[in-house]
């Protein structure tokens, strides 16, 4: 069997923690900033750990893991 390729979008958007969890950028900061309070924008900085149900799907798109 040939090797499976990782989805290129997954490589760019997600990283794996040392304990094996998936981390990604916070959601809700792509557009529409004028609607959001300054407090909300400030709190959405950085990364967040993805929920277990979503992580299971993401891991299927990256068959050999993420960096």
Range of the domain at 37: 8-61
Give the pTM. Answer: 0.81
What CATH number is associated with residue 19? 4.10.410.60
For residue 67, being part of any structural domain is answered with no
pLDDT of residue 34: 96
For residue 3, being part of any structural domain is answered with no
> Which residue(s) pair with 22 in the sheet?
16
- The neighbour count for residue 62, using CB atoms within 10 Å, is 18
pLDDT of residue 67: 82
Spell 33-57 as b/e; 16+ CB within 10 A means b: eeeeeeeeeeeeeeeeebeeeebee
Distance CA 61, CA 56 (A): 9
- Average pLDDT for runs of 10 along the chain of length 67: 94 95 95 96 97 96 91
Count of domains forming the chain: 1
pLDDT of residue 56: 96
Residue labelled with tokens 């400030």: 42
């Amino acid at each position: 069997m040939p090797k499976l390729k990782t989805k290129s979008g997954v490589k760019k958007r997600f990283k794996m923690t040392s304990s094996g969890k998936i981390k990604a950028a916070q959601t809700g900061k792509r557009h529409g900033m004028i609607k959001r309070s300054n407090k909300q924008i400030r709190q959405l900085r950085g990364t967040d750990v993805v929920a277990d149900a979503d992580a299971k799907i993401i891991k299927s798109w990256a068959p050999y893991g993420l960096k």
